[in-house]
Amino acid sequence: MLEFAILGLLHEAPMHGYVLRKRLHETLGMFRTFSYGSLYPTLRRLLRAGWIVEEAVDPGTGWNRRAKRVYKLTAEGKERFAELLADAGPQTWDDEGFGVHLTFFSRTPADVRMRILEGRRRRVEERREGLRAALARAEEKIDRYTRELHQLGLEASEREVRWLNELIAHEQAEQNKTEN
């Protein structure tokens, strides 16, 4: 997930790890945040893999300005990102992954977008049915707080399914337009 987000963001421009983390937070901070404790190790992993390189920082006015690193996407890194964009596995419709993938949705191939949205819908529908069953099953005997929580979750699921249906319909309309 973090690898995906980093590669996606580095398409904009080369960046310091620090700035990257800030952009990460701005871009998808409402759904997912990443700590430095995973950012810096991941950056080193991406370096080793050759997806990114360290760019020379302006040595400045004389003495040691180093230890500041600017990371830049390589051609292989762009390929890697395209690969990740084209993959529509379960992680892409999980709670943690879905928001991140949506962030890069306009760069995602149309058929992959479709599979992700449908996967997500399946997932949320399952949750919705689970919650409906839980609420129906007990109705009286269960804990007040649990019931309230399930009620909130149920409504959220219902809304998200509707939201997904609209997105999916829109995608299909777009696709038909392109075909004609």
Partner DNA sequence: GGCCGATTATATCGGGCTGATACATCGAAG
Partner DNA sequence: CTTCGATGTATCAGCCCGATATAATCGGCC
Does 13 help bind DNA (rule: CB under 7 A)? no
Name which position in 103, 119, 120, 121 contacts its own copies (CB under 8 A): 103
Cβ partners under 8 Å of residue 21, min gap 6: 34, 36, 39
Q: Are residues 104 and 27 in contact, defined by beta-carbon separation less than 8 angstroms?
A: no
**Got the DSSP string for 140-174?**
TSS-HHHHHHHHHHHHHHHHHHHHHHHHHHHHHHH
Q: CB under 8 A: which stretch of 43-51, 66-74, 81-89, 137-145 binds its own copies? A: 137-145
**What is the distance, to the nearest Å, from the Cα of residue 28 to the centroid of all Cα atoms in its chain?**
8
Name which position in 56, 75, 141, 144 contacts its own copies (CB under 8 A): 144
Does 62 help bind DNA (rule: CB under 7 A)? no
Query: Residue 20: exposed, middle, or buried by beta-carbon count in 10 A (0-12, 13-18, 19+)?
Result: buried
Q: For DNA, which is the closer residue by CB, 41 or 173?
A: 41
Does 47 help bind DNA (rule: CB under 7 A)? no
Q: Binding residues for its own copies, how many (CB under 8 A)? A: 27
Binding site for its own copies (CB under 8 A): 29-31, 99, 102-103, 105-106, 127, 130-131, 134, 143-146, 148-150, 152-153, 155-156, 159-160, 163, 167
